[in-house]
């Protein structure tokens, strides 16, 4: 964040030393044993449970909750992990309020769903803290698969392939594995180094080698991987960030929200992170909310989140929107940026109101800003990739691309939601399809 040095008003240490730990405490502390039993007792254990249908990874939710209710959280964790090996992280970051909990019969009848996400965390944490890995590898197949990207899709794919007896090499451009789980999620959602602990636990299956600092295109080509491995899975995420396309966006203090979040997640001392007095975040998704809330938690005086459509069109859930508002973030909708003003560094950002069809109304306003974060979506970057479907890699079936022997999943692949849980499902399903393909080949 070298640009901060050029931007007046962006400083570190806005809070007292003790305030940072308090501000970034766990958003949803883990349930204790009694709380878990009480929460589990509310489940109707529906035979054709709508919560299961709403779960992208098809976890048998009534079964694992019944296992908690009968005092066997370790068995509940195995039920979860059999479908979602990153069930611990998903329990923390998955928008359950718009997935399983929204579909819960208790939500429909009473407006108060079973705490599915918190119960999932209770079960998965219980087993993981024992250092136990619930699965073992099948007999070796002698096949080698390359997985590019150590994010949720890549990790889920690698684990399932290893469990099926294949040898897997994961290549990742970052110094740490985890992808967005490590670099792209708000620190208050995954405190205590959980993302890396989960990666270490997952790798206990064996048969997986991780090579960090290896980037597709820079260090290795897709053609070389195809020649060296029996199959390739691409879980490379989205490396580029969309531009505002507004005059002045190159001024100091205008930054990418994903970089801000990554810097915060990797900081050993939050008091050393510079933040503005007047912060504006542009976007309406989870990244925008995470950046806005964390700017406020770091001590920014005024934080505004501005989105071009109405609140009902925001990708961030109502829960996330309400969380931002509860932390003091002002949410402004139906406004799009038209110019960034300032002498070298941003001092104001100008917006124009839009109607529901994004047509400009001619009415403009300005917000004071010494720091602006762009959270308006990311783009796929890289050369020599399989054929695209729009701006992402086109896939059919369980992640098959236009290139034989190459699969893709997660944010880089077309068709799915940009959610951790969806990426896990796509990586898992691609692994099963890779296994079936290699088995059929003999």
Residue 386 lies in a domain: yes
pLDDT confidence of residue 7: 66
Tell me the C-alpha distance between 217 and 366, whole Å: 42
The two three-digit tokens of residue 358, written as one number: 């994004």
Same structural domain, 39 and 153: no
Instruction: Output the pLDDT for position 179.
Output: 96
Do residues 246 and 316 share a domain? yes
167: CATH: 3.50.50.60
Residues 82 and 163 both lie in one domain: no
Domain boundary among 104, 128, 152: 128
Please list, residue by residue across 243-268, b when 16 or more beta carbons sit within 10 angstroms of its beta carbon and e when fewer do.
ebebebbebbbbbbbbbbbbebbeee
Distance CA 172, CA 370 (A): 34
Is residue 178 within 8 Å of 184, Cβ to Cβ? no
Same domain? 326 vs 409 = no
| Helix, strand or coil, per DSSP, at residue 215 | coil
Instruction: Choose one of 103, 128, 153: the last residue of a domain.
Output: 128
Q: Could you give the CA distance from residue 367 to residue 229 in angstroms, rounded to a whole number?
A: 53
Question: 0.75 exceeded by the pTM?
Answer: yes
The stretches of 94-137 forming alpha helices (DSSP H) are: 100-103, 105-110, 116-128
Indicate the residue among 377, 411, 428 that finishes a domain.
377
- Describe the crossing of helices 152-163 and 420-441 by its angle, rounded to 10 degrees: 40
117: domain CATH number? 1.10.1060.10
Specify whether 119 is located in the same domain as 195: no
- What the block records as the tokens of 307 is 């989105």
> Which residues are CB-neighbours of 416 under 8 A, at least 6 positions away?
409, 410, 422, 423, 426
Number of structural domains in the chain:
3
- Among left, alpha and beta (phi > 0; psi -120 to 50; other), residue 181 is alpha
**Is 53 in the same domain as 76?**
yes
pLDDT in tens, the chain (442 residues): 444 445 678 999 999 988 999 999 998 889 999 999 999 999 999 989 999 999 999 999 999 999 999 999 999 999 999 999 999 999 999 999 999 999 999 999 999 999 999 999 999 999 999 998 999 999 999 999 999 999 999 999 999 999 999 999 999 999 999 999 999 999 999 998 999 999 999 999 999 999 999 999 999 999 999 999 999 999 999 988 899 999 999 999 999 999 999 999 999 999 999 999 999 999 999 999 999 999 999 999 999 999 999 999 999 999 999 999 999 999 999 999 999 999 999 999 999 999 988 999 999 999 999 999 999 999 998 889 999 999 999 999 999 999 999 999 999 999 878 899 999 999 999 999 999 999 998 7
What is the pLDDT at residue 278?
97
> What CA–CA distance (Å, rounded) separates 287 from 290?
5
Pairing of strands 231-234, 406-408: parallel
Contact assessment for residue 331 and residue 325, using Cβ atoms and an 8 Å cutoff: yes
- In this structure, the answer to whether residues 270 and 354 fall within a common structural domain is yes
Q: What residue numbers bound the domain in which 62 lies? A: 33-128
Say yes or no: 248 and 364 in one domain: yes
Q: Does one domain contain both 208 and 264? A: no
Residues 89 and 173 in one domain: no
Q: Are residues 373 and 341 in the same domain?
A: yes
């Amino acid at each position: 964040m070298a640009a901060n040095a050029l931007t007046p008003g962006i400083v570190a240490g806005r809070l007292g030393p003790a305030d940072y730990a308090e501000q970034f405490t766990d958003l949803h502390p883990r349930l204790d044993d009694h709380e878990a039993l009480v929460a589990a007792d509310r489940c109707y254990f529906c035979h054709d449970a709508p919560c299961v249908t709403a779960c992208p990874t098809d976890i048998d939710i009534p079964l694992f909750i019944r296992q908690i209710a009968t005092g066997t959280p370790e068995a509940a964790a195995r039920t979860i992990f059999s479908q979602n090996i990153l069930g611990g992280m998903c329990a923390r970051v998955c928008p359950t309020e718009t997935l399983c909990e929204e579909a819960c019969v208790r939500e429909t009848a009473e407006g108060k769903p079973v705490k599915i996400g918190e119960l999932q965390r209770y079960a998965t944490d219980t087993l993981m803290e024992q250092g136990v890995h619930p699965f073992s590898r099948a007999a070796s197949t002698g096949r080698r698969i390359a997985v590019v990207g150590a994010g949720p899709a890549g990790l889920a794919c690698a684990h399932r392939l290893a469990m099926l007896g294949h040898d897997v090499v994961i290549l990742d451009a970052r110094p740490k594995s985890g992808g967005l789980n490590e670099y792209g999620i708000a620190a208050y959602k995954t405190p205590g180094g959980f993302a890396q602990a989960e990666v270490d636990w997952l790798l206990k299956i064996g048969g997986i080698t991780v090579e960090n600092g290896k980037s597709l295109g820079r260090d290795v080509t897709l053609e070389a991987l195809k020649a060296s491995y029996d199959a390739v899975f691409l879980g490379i995420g989205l490396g580029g960030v969309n531009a505002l396309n507004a005059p002045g966006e190159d001024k100091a203090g205008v930054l990418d929200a994903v970089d801000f979040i990554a810097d915060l997640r990797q900081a050993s001392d939050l008091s050393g992170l510079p933040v503005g007095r007047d912060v504006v975040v542009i976007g309406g998704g989870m990244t925008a909310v995470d950046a806005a809330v964390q700017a406020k938690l770091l001590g920014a005086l005024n934080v505004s989140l501005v989105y071009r459509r109405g609140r009902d069109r925001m990708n961030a859930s109502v829960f996330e929107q309400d969380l931002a508002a509860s932390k003091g973030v002002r949410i402004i909708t139906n406004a799009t940026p038209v110019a960034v003003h300032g002498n070298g560094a941003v001092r104001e950002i100008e917006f124009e109101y839009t109607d529901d069809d994004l047509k400009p109304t001619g009415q403009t306003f300005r917000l004071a800003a010494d720091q602006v974060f762009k959270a308006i979506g990311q783009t796929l970057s890289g050369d020599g990739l399989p054929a695209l479907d729009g701006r992402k890699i086109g896939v059919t079936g369980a992640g098959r691309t236009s290139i034989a022997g190459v699969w893709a999943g997660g944010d880089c692949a077309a068709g799915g939601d940009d959610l951790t849980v969806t990426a896990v499902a796509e990586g898992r399903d691609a692994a099963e399809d890779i296994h079936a393909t290699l088995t059929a080949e003999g």
